[in-house]
Amino acid sequence: MKRGYFYLFGFLLLMGFDTLAQVSFKYAGTQALPVAASLAWVLRVFGQPWVYGAVIGYIGAFFTWMSLLKHAPIGPAFAASHLEVVSVMLLSVWLFDEHLTAPRVLGAIAIIAGIVCLGLAESREHVAETGSAQA
């Protein structure tokens, strides 16, 4: 039971860091508009605070991921590490007045189903590789 809480907290933390990174990327990009392949654009990107939110999100996600992988089963961990699309979508409705159009909702459902399949595939492979050692 304790282990269950550890995973749940870990996955939520991972999702939180990933979400922070994506939202920060969006803010950073919007404030650095217009996009140009120039040093001026790069300086605009690094000249406002949001880009550092993205860096913190990335670093936080990296260390959370590495700690989770020590104990968590790889399949669910893989799936959870990509499920930030859900939290990011919901947040962008609230923060950026975006709309959950039918194609976005349908596409998200297909993508999440695909991620779950890939997570299951990882689990099975992992069991196949380590199963003999555990048996």
Partner 1 sequence: MPAAPAITHLVAGLWLLNVLIDTGGQLAFKAAAGDPHAGDGLARWKHMAARPWLWLGVGCYAIEFLVWIAFLSLIPLSEGVLLGSINIVAIMVAGRFLFGEKLTRLRVAGIVLVTLGVAIVGLGG
Radius of gyration of the chain (CA): 18
Structure tokens at 90: 């919901």
Residues of the shown chain interacting with partner 1 in the complex, contacts defined by CB under 8 A: 22-23, 25-26, 28-30, 32-33, 35, 41-42, 45, 51, 54, 82, 84-85, 88-89, 92-93, 96-104, 106-118, 120-121, 124-125
Nearer to partner 1, 6 or 116 (CB): 116
- Closest approach, Cβ 11 to partner 1, in A, equals 17
- 86's CB contacts (< 8 A; 6+ apart) are 108, 112
Residue among 7, 11, 5, 4 nearest 82 (CA): 11
Name which of 67 and 92 has its Cβ closer to partner 1: 92
